[in-house]
């Protein structure tokens, strides 16, 4: 076990939102790390038990993997990425456990196939069922992440006076127009001085954009809402929505 089980609590003067505490740890207040990990052992145990579909106690390897994943989540969490820390930590723990379960399944496969008393076909069938269950679980997780991203993205759009309904009614109708708008949005995102101005004013910096793109002011203005919507997917780091902003085939 890499972490002490002492019942250490974050001091009253150290309290803040969970995300603030995580940021402080990342900035060097590492004394808060062990306290945070100890305080959230019940959370880790709950997530691990759900993934493994059985009770997990603190002596099991799966629990240690969950704690390590929680510690990694502290280091890799970023504010403004569209999710709270516990949502992010839940995802990291689940991914680490799935990797572990897959490795164990592969190891057991070799042990089963090397055993004279085991039936290779039965062992292979069991592994297929395990893999199918893991694949189904992964798809469920991806769907959940997409739902969360969509809800957060919807709120982000509202800050700019946009909605899905507006975009469906006023977005470009032709693939080449949409592709051009996506290119403009990506150009905006790639230049920090443009994206910073955009986020501050909530207006497209059209004049500055024209220095980097080969289209007219009229084109930008006509597709302004769609360009903003695409740029917000990039800026909000909504990874599950990235497929919606890939260039479309013109065939």
Average pLDDT, the chain: 81
So what's the pLDDT on residue 160? Answer: 93
pTM above 0.75, yes or no: no
Same domain, 170 and 116: no
Integer Cα distance of 216 and 128 in angstroms: 56
Percent of the chain with pLDDT over 90: 41
Comparing 119-128, 194-203, 208-217, the range with the smallest average pLDDT is 119-128
Integer Cα distance of 5 and 101 in angstroms: 25
Q: What does the block give as tokens for 52?
A: 């493994």
Average pLDDT over residues 60-65: 90
Same domain, 44 and 113: yes
Range list of H helices, 5-84: 18-26, 31-39, 41-52, 61-76
So what's the pLDDT on residue 110? Answer: 53
So what's the pLDDT on residue 120? Answer: 47
207: containing domain:
164-245
| CATH code, domain carrying 75 | 1.10.1740.10
| Domain boundary, last residue among 113, 144, 175 | 144
Integer Cα distance of 194 and 235 in angstroms: 12
Total domains in the fold of the chain:
2
Average pLDDT over residues 185-203: 93
Residue 33 in contact with residue 71, Cβ under 8 Å? Answer: yes
Choose between 52 and 67: higher pLDDT: 67
């Amino acid at each position: 076990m890499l972490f002490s089980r002492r019942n250490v609590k974050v001091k009253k003067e150290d309290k803040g939102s969970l995300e603030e505490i995580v940021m402080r740890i990342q900035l060097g207040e590492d004394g808060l790390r062990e306290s945070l990990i100890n305080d959230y052992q019940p959370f880790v145990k709950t997530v691990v038990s759900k993934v493994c579909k059985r009770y997990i106690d603190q002596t099991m390897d799966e629990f240690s993997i969950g704690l390590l994943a929680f510690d990694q989540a502290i280091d890799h969490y970023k504010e403004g990425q569209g999710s709270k820390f516990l949502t992010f930590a839940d995802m990291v723990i689940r991914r680490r456990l799935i990797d572990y379960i897959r490795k164990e399944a592969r190891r057991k496969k070799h042990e089963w196939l090397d055993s004279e008393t085991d039936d290779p076909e039965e062992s292979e069938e069991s592994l297929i069922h395990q893999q199918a269950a893991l694949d189904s679980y992964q798809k469920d997780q991806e769907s959940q992440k997409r739902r969360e991203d969509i809800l957060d993205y919807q709120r982000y759009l509202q800050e700019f006076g946009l909605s899905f309904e507006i975009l469906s009614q006023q977005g470009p109708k032709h693939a080449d127009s949409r592709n051009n708008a996506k290119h403009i949005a990506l150009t905006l995102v790639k230049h920090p001085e443009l994206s910073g101005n955009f986020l501050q004013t909530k207006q497209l910096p059209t004049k500055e954009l024209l220095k980097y793109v080969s289209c007219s002011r009229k084109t930008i203005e006509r597709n302004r809402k769609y360009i903003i919507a695409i740029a917000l997917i990039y800026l909000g780091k909504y990874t599950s929505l990235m497929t919606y902003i890939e260039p479309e085939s013109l065939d």
